[in-house]
Amino acid sequence: MDCPVWAEVSREALRHNLRVVKEIVGPSVRVMGIVKANAYGHGLVPVAKILEEAGVDWLGVARGQEALELRREGVDHPILVLGYVHPAECPALLAQEVTLTAYSEDILREWAGIAQREGKRLKVHFKVDTGMGRLGFKAEPAGKEAILRLAALPRVEVEGIYTHFACADLPDEKPTRDQLEKFIMLLEELERAGLSIPLRHAANSAALIRFRESHLDMVRPGIMLYGLLPFPSARVNLSPAMTLKARVVQVKRVGAGFPVSYGWTYRTSRPSLLATVAAGYGDGYSRLLSNKGEVLLRGRRVPVVGRVCMDQLIVDATELGEVEPGEEVVLFGRQGEVSLPVEELAEKIGTINYEVVCAVSARVPRVYL
């Protein structure tokens, strides 16, 4: 790749991970591939098209503009917007037959009025808050009555209903089982009241793996589609889809006591070989990895020394003996037989694997292999 920093995304890894999901849930359960946040940093449109071709049933996004971008690029699978949609976005989304999340009576009535004026169907999935505390109707009688009222509005077409688990990745199973029980009870009450909703879904990646009873009619894998584990003890054969790479752009030999990068937070303890790498926090490589990160160079781990800069970082390549400008560096992923997992970076900076890949910035080209 003729650029200083780039991300390689494996098509086969994405296809493999979708196959793993389908093997877990079986043929009768549909799969909504979650591609929000630029497909967790992997590239919204290319990933959506790969998943579409590989047999995903639905696509899930967080924002209206993500759905519209997919439609502009020819993605015609059903799309659910999981988050807030401003009323001004509503006409364009209705015209493209994008499904919206109905999470409150006020917002749905506003959308329904727009649909009436536009002469369009308003396709919705109701969101039920069973314990997350974010969006959704409460799983109690008032919530049930609101859903029944709203489902009868002109132009409203109820395609689905869903909830989201707060603790499915944690060892204690009780919170998730309690949430699922609340959701099932509400579904049963709606059925008794005469409202049968075709698609019921609840399971994210963690629940998909741990709670078979949560699969219902459809599952919503996100992080596992990208080959990353939703919890550390997960025993599933996933393939990480992204490798973040950069180039060595300068090599220099320095003496002991040489200061490195902003603030001189690091000084060499011996005569050293320093390699400057063309990647920094402007590309999504966290500044929190200053003086604690490692990268792969010539198939070996070498430490990041000094502060990570916006566009560059420096590594101590002394143990390698020789390094040439232009050599390939892996910031996370695999180089030869050596792996540097996303989870390791996440642990070092006190976050989760989701954030590490989502942080890879827009200026980093994605290459699909």
Domain-by-domain residue ranges, the chain?
A: 11-226, 242-368
Q: What does CATH list as the number for 11-226?
A: 3.20.20.10
Out of 22, 138, 252, 262, pick the active-site residue: 262
Query: Is 134 annotated among the ligand-binding residues?
Result: yes
Which tokens hold the place of 83?
């988050």
CA 235, 239, 242, 247 dihedral sign is: positive
- pLDDT for the residue 54: 98
Distances (CA, A) of 288 to 30, 190, 330: 40, 49, 18
Query: Is 242 annotated among the ligand-binding residues?
Result: no
Q: State the alpha helices, DSSP H only, in the chain.
A: 11-25, 36-40, 44-54, 64-72, 90-95, 105-118, 141-151, 174-192, 205-210, 342-349, 353-358
Do the Cβ atoms of 186 and 143 come closer than 8 Å?
yes
Do the Cβ atoms of 201 and 216 come closer than 8 Å?
yes
Which tokens hold the place of 132?
């997350």
Do the Cβ atoms of 358 and 283 come closer than 8 Å?
no
pLDDT in tens, the chain (369 residues): 789 999 999 999 999 999 999 999 999 999 999 999 999 999 999 999 999 999 999 999 999 999 999 999 999 999 999 999 999 999 999 999 999 999 999 999 999 999 999 999 999 999 999 999 999 999 999 999 999 999 999 999 999 999 999 999 999 999 999 999 999 999 999 999 999 999 999 999 999 999 999 999 999 999 999 999 999 988 999 999 999 999 999 999 999 999 999 999 999 999 999 999 999 999 999 999 999 999 999 999 999 999 999 999 999 999 999 999 999 999 999 999 999 999 999 999 999 999 999 999 999 999 999
Question: Cβ atoms within 10 A of the Cβ of 141, count?
Answer: 10
DSSP string, 133-159: -SSSEESSHHHHHHHHHHHTSTTEEEE
CATH of 242-368, one of 3.30.2130.10, 3.40.50.300, 3.30.70.1400, 2.40.37.10: 2.40.37.10
Active site residue 262: yes
Out of 36, 127, 144, 182, pick the active-site residue: 36
Q: What is the model's pTM?
A: 0.94
Distances (CA, A) of 151 to 24, 144, 154, 176, 195: 33, 11, 9, 27, 8
The single residue listed with the structure tokens 């075709």 is 198
